[in-house]
Amino acid sequence: MHILIIEDEAAIRDMIRLSLEQAGYRVSGCADAETARREIVEWKPDCLIVDWMLPGDSGIDLVHWLRRQPGLQQIPVLMLTARSEETDTITGLEAGADDYMTKPLSLRELRSRIKALLRRPAQWQDQPQLLRDGPIQLNIETHELAIDGQPVKLSKKEFQLLKFFLGHRNRVFSRDRILDAVWGSDRYLEDRTVDVHVLRLRKLLKPWGLDRCIQTVRGSGYRFHCDEAQHGQ
C-alpha cells in the first residue's frame, strides 16, 4: 500500500512518514499541490494525506481536482486541518475528503484511520457524505442520522446542531458561538435556545448512552466528546 503525504511542513511530513513506514506502508511525500498532482498521476497511490493549508493551491483545491480525474477519483483522502480553521472540517468533507484530522495529530489515531480508509471499498462517488463519531453516523446530504446502524429521526435544528458538534469535536464552544454557527448571526434568540436544543439532542442520544457526549462546560458552554471506551470503539 502506497500512501502519499502532501504537507508543506517538513517536520510533520517526516513524522507521519516515519510512523506509517513503521506500520508497513510505502510512503512518499511532497510539499505542494502541483507536485502532488504529478505524483498522483504517475504513481496512483492507494491513499492521500492532504494538509489543508499549502503554498499555492490549497489541499481543498487538490481534492476538488482529484475527484474530477477518472481512474483517480476514488483514492481515499484524509485531510489535515489546523485547530484555528474552525468551520473548515465540514467544508473539507463536502469537497470530497473521506475523513479529516485536526493538528496536532495523534499518530496512533492517524494510523488507525488510514487503516480504516484503506479497508473501505473505494467508491467515493457513490458514498453518501457522512460525519461519524463512534456509533453516530450523520448523512449531511440527506440529513439522516443512524446510531449503531439504526435510523433515528431528528428535526432540522437538531440536525444542524449535531452537524456542528460532529464537525467540531473535543472543543468547547460558548452558547453565543453555537447560536451564531447554527442559527446565524441575524437572530433574536437567547442563549437558552441552545440549552433547549442541547437537551433535545441529548434525549435523542440517551437510549445509546451517548447523551454524555454533549458535555456542559461550566461557565463556558458545551463540548462534544464521545469517550471511545464508553461504547467500545
d(CA 212, CA 154): 18
Query: Cβ 10 to Ca ion, closest distance in Å?
Result: 11
d(CA 175, CA 193): 9
Stretch that binds Ca ion, among 5-13, 61-69, 128-136, 180-188 (CB under 5 A): 5-13
Contact flag: residue 34 with Ca ion (CB under 5 A) = no
Please list, in sequence order, all residues whose beta carbon lies within 8 angstroms of the beta carbon of residue 51, skipping any fewer than 6 positions away: 6, 7, 8, 9, 12, 59, 79, 80
Looking at residue 106, the DSSP 8-state letter turns out to be: P
The smaller minimum CB distance to Ca ion, of residues 29 and 221, is found at: 29
Q: Residue 61 to residues 34, 50, 95, 166, 201: CA-CA distances in angstroms? A: 10, 11, 8, 23, 35
Query: Cβ 55 to Ca ion, closest distance in Å?
Result: 8
d(CA 194, CA 161): 9
Longest dimension (CA), the chain: 55
Contact of 75 with 47, CB cutoff 8 Å: yes
- The cell for 3 is 500512501
The smaller minimum CB distance to Ca ion, of residues 19 and 230, is found at: 19
The smaller minimum CB distance to Ca ion, of residues 10 and 18, is found at: 10
Beta strand 77-82 with 47-51 is parallel
The smaller minimum CB distance to Ca ion, of residues 53 and 130, is found at: 53
Contact flag: residue 88 with Ca ion (CB under 5 A) = no
The smaller minimum CB distance to Ca ion, of residues 14 and 211, is found at: 14
Contact flag: residue 51 with Ca ion (CB under 5 A) = yes
Q: How many residues bind Ca ion (CB under 5 A)?
A: 3
Return the amino acid letter for 29.
Answer: G
The smaller minimum CB distance to Ca ion, of residues 8 and 34, is found at: 8
Q: Which residue is nearest to Ca ion (CB)?
A: 53
Query: Cβ 39 to Ca ion, closest distance in Å?
Result: 17
Contact flag: residue 86 with Ca ion (CB under 5 A) = no
Query: Cβ 54 to Ca ion, closest distance in Å?
Result: 6
Contact of 168 with 150, CB cutoff 8 Å: no
- Binds Ca ion (CB under 5 A): choice among 1, 23, 53, 105: 53
Contact flag: residue 39 with Ca ion (CB under 5 A) = no
Q: Catalog residues that contact Ca ion under the rule CB under 5 A.
A: 8, 51, 53
